[in-house]
C-alpha cells in the first residue's frame, strides 16, 4: 500500500511539474527528494516495494543527468547545439513566395488553441457585433431596397446577366466602394458591416452578391487603398467608389490555378511608347481565365512575373510577382468573352494580351512596389478571405434554413407535415446547427478583422469550413424539398444557391487545398508558440544570434511538450473536470471545460505531428486535413460560446448550443482519433493514444432526443427562428416565392385548431375530401368548423397549392438563350496555344 501511495505521489508530482513547465533544476531537485524518500525506507512496507538494490543505484542516473543539464553551458553543448544543427539540416527550403505567405497576416485566437491553454479573455475581448448608425441604416435601407429589386429568375435565366438597373443602383449607392475609405469617396464601412451587407444580398441572389463582393474583396480597390501611389489613390479610388470604374482582378491562368505563384505571365522592363512619348515601362504577355467581372471590367488588376534583363531598375534580373492596373481599353488587352460558370449570370471570363506595353506608373504603388505583388496579395487575402466567402456561405446556410423549415412545415405527405418525420428532422437539425455555427464564427471573425487583425490561419479555416457547411445545407434543403427544388423556374428559390455552391467551394483557395495544405501546415508554423521561432532562428544567417534565439525557443518548446503530455493525460483522465472556465460562464461552463480539454489534446498531437513529420507534412494530407478539421471544430465551438454570451444567452438557444457543442466535440474526437490511428510513427501513435484516449473515445454526438427538440425550434415562426436566420432578407410579399412561404407558414400555424377539427371529421367519415366536393362547406354545414374557420382553411389551401406548385413552360419559351456561335475552348483564343 505504501508503495502504491509513493508511486502515485511520484506520478502526481511529475505531472504537476510538467504541467507547470518547471525548470530542469526543479525536476532534478524533485528527483533527489523522491529517491531519498524511497531509499530511506519511508514508503517500504512488509509486502511492498523491495528495498533499493542495483535499481536504487541506477535510479540516480536520470536525476544526475537532469541536474547536469540544468547547467546552461552543458545543456547548450550537449543538447541545444546538436538539435540546432539537426533542425538546420532537415529544414526544407522555404521559397520566397512561401515565406511571404507565412509572413502575411496575423496570429490571434488561433494561437490560443494551439497553446493547449486558451486564454478565454482573448476570446471575450473580441467585440460583439457592432454597426454604426450609418452602417445599420445602409443594411436596412439601400440593401433591403436592392434585395427587393432582385428577380433571381430574370437574372439567371431570362437575361443571363445582371440587369442594368441593378448595376446602376449598386454604383449609385456606393456598394462597390464599401471598403474604400471615406477620404477617398468610399463608404469606409467596417468589416462587420461589409460582411452583413454582402450576406443579406447573397441571401437574395448569389449573382448580385458576387458583383458587390469582388470590388470589395482582394482586388484593385483594396490594393490601391493599401499600396497605391498618391496619384493612383486620388484618381482611381473615388472613381471605383462611384462605380465609374468596374474592376476585376486577374491572377489565375491555365497553368496557374491553386499554385498561382507559378504563373507564366511575364513582363520585361523595357522602353516603349505611351501616349506618344517614349518611356520606361513593361512589355507584357499574359493569359488569364475565370476572372470575375472581367467581361464588364474597365480596369484590369493583373498579376505577372517581372524580369529586368538589362537591370534598368538596378534590382537584378528576376524582380518577382508584380501587380499592375491596366485600363481594359488599353491597346492589346483582350477582354470581354465570357465563361458560363455553373449557370450563374455574374460576368466571368478570360483575358489575355501579347507584348502589350504599359508604363511603370501602371504598377500598383509605382516603381517601389515592383516585385512586391505576392506579399501584397497574401496580406490582403488574409483579411478578405475571412469576410467574403464566410459571409455568403453563412447567408446561404441561414436562408436555406429559413426557406426549408417553412416548406417542411407546410408540405404534407401521409397526412402529416413532412417536418414531423424523423427522416426529415435529421437534415433539418443539421441545417439549424450550420446556420447557428456559421453565423457565430462569421460574426467573431468579422469583428477580429474590423479591429485590424488579418487572421491568416483563421481565414483559411473559415473559408473551407463555412462553405462546406453551406454545401451540406444546400444539399439538405434540396433533399427536403424533393422534386419541388429540382425543377427550375421563377418559383424555385433554391436553384441559384445549388448551382453556385461549387463556385464558393473553388474560389479564394479551393477547399481541398485550403483544408489539407494551408490551414494546419500554416497554422502549425504560425500559431504554434515556439515552432516558427525555432525555424526562423535556424534560418538566421548570423549563426550565433540564431543559436541564442533557437535555445530560448527550444527550451520553451521542451517544457511546452511535457506540459501538453501531462496536461492532456490529466484532463482526459478527469473528463475535463478541471478545465479552465472563464468568469460568469453560467450554462456554458461544461463546454468551456471540454474545449479546454480538447485544446490540450490538440496541442499535444499537433506538436508531435509537426516534430515527427516535419517537411513530410505537405504530403501527409490525410493527416493534415484531419488536423485542420480538429482545429476548425475548436474554433467554431469557441465562437458558438461567444455568440451565445454576446446574444445574452437567450433561453431558446440553449439547446442549439448544447447540440452544437456535443457534435463539435464528437467530430473533434473523430478527427483527432483519425490522425492518431493513422500516424505513421508507431511509438508516437501508442503514446498519443494513451495520453489522448486513456479511457477510450467517450464523446458522443447529440442524442436523437436533443436533436428532435432542436428541430422543433425552427418550425414555428418566432424569435428562435428569426435569430437563427438573422440579417438575411426576408420577404413578406406573396408574389415573391420566398415571401409566399413566410405568409403561408403563418397562416398554416394560425389555422391549426380549425384544421384539427376538420381532419378528425374526415377521419371519422363525417366529411369526405375528394375532387368535386366542397368539404369546407360540408364541414360548416355539419357544425364541425365555423364560417370564419372555413375561410381560414380555404385561404391556407390556396396558399399551400401555390407553395407546392412547380413551374412548367412552353418549349419555345425555354430554348437556350445563348446562340451557339463564337464558341471556342479557350485555348484557341489565347496566344499561348497559338
Ligand atoms: C467562378 C469562378 C470565379 C473566379 N474568379 C477569379 C477571379 O476573379 N480572379 C482570379 O484570379 N481567379 C478567379 N478564379 C480562379 C480560382 O481562384 C481558381 O479556380 C482556384 O484557385 C483553383 O484553381 P483551378 O480551378 O485551376 O484548380 P486546380 O488548381 O487545378 O485544382 C484542382 C483541385 O486540386 C486541388 N489541389 C491543387 N493543389 C493541391 C495541393 N497541393 N494539395 C491538395 N489539393 C490540391 C484543389 O483544391 C482542387 O480541388 C475563379 C474561379 C471560378 C471557378
Distance CA 108, CA 116 (A): 14
- pLDDT recorded at residue 136: 98
- pLDDT recorded at residue 76: 87
Distance CA 790, CA 362 (A): 72
pLDDT band at residue 832, thresholds of 50, 70 and 90? Answer: very low
Taking only the tens place, the pLDDT of each residue in 399-439 is 999 999 999 999 999 989 999 999 999 999 999 999 999 99
Q: Which atom of ligand 1 has the smallest separation from the CA of 344?
A: 1
Q: Which atom of ligand 1 has the smallest separation from the CA of 303?
A: 11
Q: Is the pLDDT of residue 262 over 80?
A: yes
Going from the C-alpha of 67 to that of each of 19, 20, 72, 452, 558, the distances in angstroms are 20, 18, 11, 47, 16
Residue whose C-alpha cell reads 489575355 in the numeric block: 352
Q: Which residue has the higher pLDDT, 654 or 39?
A: 654
Q: Is the pLDDT of residue 816 over 70?
A: no
How close is the Cα of 602 to the center of ligand 1, in Å?
A: 30
Mean pLDDT (whole number) for 124-143: 97
How would DSSP label each residue in 50-94? PPPSHHHHHTHHHHHHHHHHTSHHHHIIIIIHHHHHHHHHHPPPP
Q: What share of the chain in percent tops pLDDT 70? A: 96
- pLDDT recorded at residue 821: 59
- The secondary element (H helix, E strand) that includes residue 795 is helix 787-804
Taking only the tens place, the pLDDT of each residue in 289-339 is 999 999 999 999 999 999 999 999 999 999 999 999 999 999 999 999 999
**Probe residue for ligand 1, chosen from 213, 291, 513, 522 as the CB with the greatest number of ligand atoms within 8 Å:** 513
Residue 387: exposure state from Cβ atoms within 10 A (0-12, 13-18, ≥19): buried
Taking only the tens place, the pLDDT of each residue in 505-535 is 999 999 999 999 999 988 888 888 888 888 8
Q: Which atom of ligand 1 has the smallest separation from the CA of 341?
A: 1
Among 102-106, 517-521, 755-759, 807-811, where is mean pLDDT lowest? 102-106
- pLDDT recorded at residue 217: 87
Q: Is the pLDDT of residue 95 over 80?
A: no
Q: Which residue has the higher pLDDT, 202 or 21?
A: 202
How close is the Cα of 292 to the center of ligand 1, in Å?
A: 13
Mean pLDDT (whole number) for 652-677: 98
Distance CA 308, CA 286 (A): 17
Distance CA 209, CA 214 (A): 9
Among protein residues, the one whose CA lies closest to atom 52 of ligand 1? 290
How close is the Cα of 516 to the center of ligand 1, in Å?
A: 14
Residue whose C-alpha cell reads 535556424 in the numeric block: 538
How close is the Cα of 233 to the center of ligand 1, in Å?
A: 30
Taking only the tens place, the pLDDT of each residue in 534-543 is 888 888 888 8
Q: Is the pLDDT of residue 818 over 70?
A: no
Cβ-contact 552, 536 below 8 angstroms = no
Distance CA 547, CA 545 (A): 5
* 649 backbone dihedrals φ, ψ, rounded to 5°: 45, 60
**Probe residue for ligand 1, chosen from 507, 508, 514, 624 as the CB with the greatest number of ligand atoms within 8 Å:** 507
Mean pLDDT (whole number) for 185-189: 96
Strands 318-327 and 299-307, sheet pairing: antiparallel
Q: What share of the chain in percent tops pLDDT 90? A: 75
* 754 backbone dihedrals φ, ψ, rounded to 5°: -65, -40
Distance CA 804, CA 716 (A): 19
Q: Which residue has the higher pLDDT, 210 or 833?
A: 210
Q: What is the 3-state secondary structure (H, E, C) of 550-611?
A: HHHHHHHHHHHHHHHHHHHHHHHHCCCCCCCCCCCCCCCHHHHHHHHHHHHHHHHHHHHHHH
Q: Which atom of ligand 1 has the smallest separation from the CA of 293?
A: 8
Question: Is 508 tagged catalytic?
Answer: yes
Taking only the tens place, the pLDDT of each residue in 15-28 is 888 888 888 888 88
- pLDDT recorded at residue 398: 98
- pLDDT recorded at residue 822: 63
Mean pLDDT (whole number) for 625-647: 98
How close is the Cα of 164 to the center of ligand 1, in Å?
A: 30
- The secondary element (H helix, E strand) that includes residue 292 is strand 277-292
Among protein residues, the one whose CA lies closest to atom 45 of ligand 1? 513
How close is the Cα of 255 to the center of ligand 1, in Å?
A: 11
Provide the 3-class DSSP secondary structure of residue 3. helix
Residues with CB under 6 A from ligand 1: 249-252, 257-258, 290-292, 341, 348, 503, 506-507, 510, 512-513, 516-517, 621
Q: Which of 508, 534, 551, 742 does the annotation list as catalytic? A: 508
Mean pLDDT of the chain: 92
pLDDT band at residue 48, thresholds of 50, 70 and 90? Answer: low
pLDDT band at residue 639, thresholds of 50, 70 and 90? Answer: very high
- pLDDT recorded at residue 43: 63
Q: Which atom of ligand 1 has the smallest separation from the CA of 511?
A: 47
User: pTM of the entire structure?
Assistant: 0.93
How close is the Cα of 833 to the center of ligand 1, in Å?
A: 21
**Probe residue for ligand 1, chosen from 210, 258, 335, 522 as the CB with the greatest number of ligand atoms within 8 Å:** 258
Return the closest-CA partner of residue 12 out of 514, 531, 519, 570.
570
- pLDDT recorded at residue 723: 98
Return the closest-CA partner of residue 759 out of 784, 787, 782, 783.
784
How close is the Cα of 503 to the center of ligand 1, in Å?
A: 10
Task: Please count the residues of the chain.
Answer: 834
Cβ-contact 385, 718 below 8 angstroms = no
Cβ-contact 149, 628 below 8 angstroms = no
Among protein residues, the one whose CA lies closest to atom 16 of ligand 1? 507
* 825 backbone dihedrals φ, ψ, rounded to 5°: -80, 0
Q: What is the 3-state secondary structure (H, E, C) of 412-455?
A: EECCEEHHHCHHHHHHHHHHHHHHHHHHHHHHHHHHHHHCCCCE
- pLDDT recorded at residue 15: 86
Q: Which atom of ligand 1 has the smallest separation from the CA of 260?
A: 21
Among protein residues, the one whose CA lies closest to atom 23 of ligand 1? 257
Cβ-contact 351, 249 below 8 angstroms = no
**Probe residue for ligand 1, chosen from 207, 250, 286, 290 as the CB with the greatest number of ligand atoms within 8 Å:** 290
Amino acid at each position: 500500500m505504501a508503495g502504491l501511495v509513493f508511486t502515485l505521489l511520484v506520478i502526481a508530482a511529475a505531472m504537476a511539474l510538467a504541467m507547470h513547465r518547471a525548470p530542469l533544476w526543479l525536476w532534478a531537485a524533485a528527483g533527489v527528494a523522491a529517491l531519498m524518500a524511497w531509499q530511506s525506507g519511508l514508503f517500504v512496507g512488509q509486502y511492498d516495494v523491495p528495498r533499493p538494490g542495483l535499481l536504487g543505484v541506477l535510479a540516480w542516473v536520470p536525476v544526475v543527468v537532469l541536474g547536469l543539464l540544468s547547467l546552461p553551458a552543458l545543456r547548450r553543448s550537449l543538447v541545444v547545439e546538436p538539435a540546432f544543427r539537426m533542425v538546420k539540416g532537415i529544414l526544407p527550403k522555404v521559397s520566397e513566395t512561401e515565406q511571404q505567405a507565412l509572413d502575411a497576416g496575423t496570429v490571434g485566437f488561433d494561437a490560443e488553441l494551439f497553446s493547449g491553454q486558451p486564454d478565454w479573455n482573448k476570446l471575450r475581448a473580441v467585440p460583439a457585433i457592432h454597426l454604426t448608425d450609418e452602417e445599420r441604416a445602409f443594411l436596412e435601407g439601400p440593401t433591403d431596397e436592392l434585395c427587393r429589386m432582385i428577380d433571381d429568375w430574370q437574372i439567371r435565366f431570362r437575361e443571363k446577366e445582371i440587369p442594368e438597373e441593378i448595376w446602376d443602383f449598386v454604383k449609385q449607392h456606393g456598394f462597390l466602394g464599401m471598403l474604400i475609405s471615406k477620404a477617398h469617396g468610399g463608404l469606409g464601412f467596417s468589416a462587420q458591416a461589409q460582411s452583413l451587407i454582402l450576406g443579406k444580398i447573397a441571401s437574395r441572389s448569389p449573382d448580385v452578391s458576387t458583383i458587390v463582393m469582388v470590388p470589395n474583396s482582394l482586388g484593385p480597390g483594396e490594393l490601391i487603398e493599401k499600396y497605391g501611389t498618391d496619384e493612383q489613390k486620388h484618381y482611381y479610388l473615388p472613381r471605383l467608389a462611384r462605380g465609374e470604374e468596374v474592376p476585376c482582378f486577374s491572377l489565375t491562368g491555365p497553368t496557374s490555378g491553386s499554385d498561382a505563384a507559378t504563373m507564366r505571365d511575364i513582363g520585361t522592363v523595357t522602353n516603349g511608347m505611351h501616349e506618344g512619348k517614349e518611356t520606361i515601362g513593361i512589355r507584357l504577355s499574359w493569359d488569364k481565365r475565370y476572372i470575375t467581372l472581367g467581361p464588364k471590367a474597365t480596369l484590369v488588376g493583373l498579376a505577372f512575373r517581372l524580369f529586368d534583363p538589362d537591370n534598368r531598375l538596378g534590382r537584378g534580373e528576376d524582380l518577382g510577382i508584380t501587380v499592375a492596373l491596366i485600363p481594359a481599353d488599353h491597346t492589346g488587352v483582350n477582354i470581354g468573352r465570357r465563361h458560363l460558370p455553373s449557370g450563374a449570370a455574374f460576368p466571368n471570363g478570360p483575358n489575355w494580351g501579347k507584348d502589350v506595353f504599359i508604363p511603370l506608373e501602371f504598377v500598383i504603388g509605382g516603381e517601389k512596389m515592383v516585385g512586391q505583388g505576392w506579399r501584397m496579395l497574401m496580406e490582403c487575402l488574409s483579411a478578405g478571405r475571412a469576410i467574403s466567402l464566410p459571409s455568403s456561405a453563412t447567408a446561404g446556410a441561414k436562408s436555406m434554413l429559413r426557406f426549408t423549415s417553412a416548406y417542411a412545415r407546410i408540405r404534407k405527405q401521409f397526412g402529416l407535415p413532412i417536418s414531423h418525420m424523423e427522416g426529415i428532422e435529421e437534415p433539418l437539425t443539421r441545417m439549424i446547427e450550420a446556420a447557428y455555427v456559421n453565423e457565430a464564427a462569421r460574426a467573431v471573425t468579422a469583428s477580429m478583422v474590423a479591429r485590424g487583425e488579418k487572421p491568416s490561419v483563421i481565414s483559411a479555416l473559415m473559408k473551407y469550413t463555412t462553405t462546406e457547411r453551406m454545401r451540406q445545407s444546400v444539399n439538405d434543403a434540396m433533399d427536403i424539398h424533393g422534386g419541388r427544388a429540382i425543377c427550375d423556374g421563377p418559383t424555385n428559390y433554391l436553384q441559384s444557391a445549388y448551382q453556385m455552391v461549387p463556385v464558393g467551394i473553388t474560389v479564394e483557395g479551393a477547399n481541398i487545398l485550403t483544408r489539407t495544405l494551408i490551414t494546419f501546415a500554416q497554422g502549425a508554423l504560425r500559431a504554434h508558440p515556439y515552432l516558427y521561432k525555432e525555424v526562423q532562428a535556424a534560418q538566421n544567417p548570423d549563426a550565433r544570434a540564431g543559436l541564442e534565439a533557437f535555445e530560448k525557443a527550444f527550451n520553451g518548446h521542451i517544457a511546452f511538450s511535457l506540459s501538453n503530455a501531462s496536461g492532456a493525460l490529466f484532463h482526459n483522465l478527469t473528463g475535463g473536470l478541471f478545465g479552465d472556465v472563464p468568469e460568469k460562464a453560467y450554462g456554458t461552463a461544461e463546454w468551456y471545460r471540454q474545449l479546454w480539454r480538447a485544446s490540450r489534446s490538440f496541442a499535444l498531437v499537433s506538436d508531435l505531428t509537426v516534430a515527427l513529420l516535419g517537411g513530410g507534412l505537405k504530403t501527409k494530407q490525410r493527416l493534415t486535413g484531419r488536423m485542420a478539421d480538429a482545429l476548425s471544430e475548436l474554433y467554431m465551438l469557441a465562437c458558438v460560446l461567444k455568440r451565445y454570451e454576446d446574444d445574452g444567452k437567450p433561453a431558446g438557444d440553449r439547446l442549439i448550443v448544447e447540440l452544437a457543442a456535443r457534435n463539435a466535440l464528437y467530430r473533434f474526437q473523430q478527427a483527432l482519433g483519425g490522425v492518431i490511428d493513422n500516424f505513421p510513427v508507431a511509438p508516437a501513435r501508442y503514446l498519443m493514444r494513451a495520453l489522448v484516449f486513456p479511457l477510450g473515445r467517450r464523446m458522443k454526438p447529440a442524442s436523437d432526443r436533443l436533436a428532435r427538440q432542436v428541430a422543433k425550434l425552427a418550425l414555428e415562426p418566432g424569435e428562435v427562428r428569426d435569430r437563427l436566420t438573422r440579417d438575411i432578407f426576408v420577404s413578406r410579399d406573396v408574389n415573391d416565392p420566398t415571401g409566399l412561404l413566410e405568409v403561408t407558414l403563418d397562416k398554416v400555424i394560425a389555422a391549426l385548431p380549425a384544421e384539427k377539427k376538420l381532419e378528425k371529421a374526415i377521419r371519422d367519415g363525417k366529411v369526405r375530401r375528394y375532387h368535386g366536393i366542397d368539404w369546407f362547406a360540408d364541414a360548416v354545414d355539419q357544425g364541425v368548423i365555423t364560417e370564419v374557420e372555413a375561410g381560414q382553411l380555404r385561404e391556407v389551401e390556396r396558399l399551400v397549392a401555390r407553395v407546392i406548385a412547380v413551374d412548367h413552360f412552353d418549349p419555345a419559351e425555354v430554348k437556350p438563350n445563348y446562340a451557339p456561335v463564337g464558341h471556342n475552348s479557350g485555348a484557341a483564343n489565347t496566344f499561348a496555344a497559338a
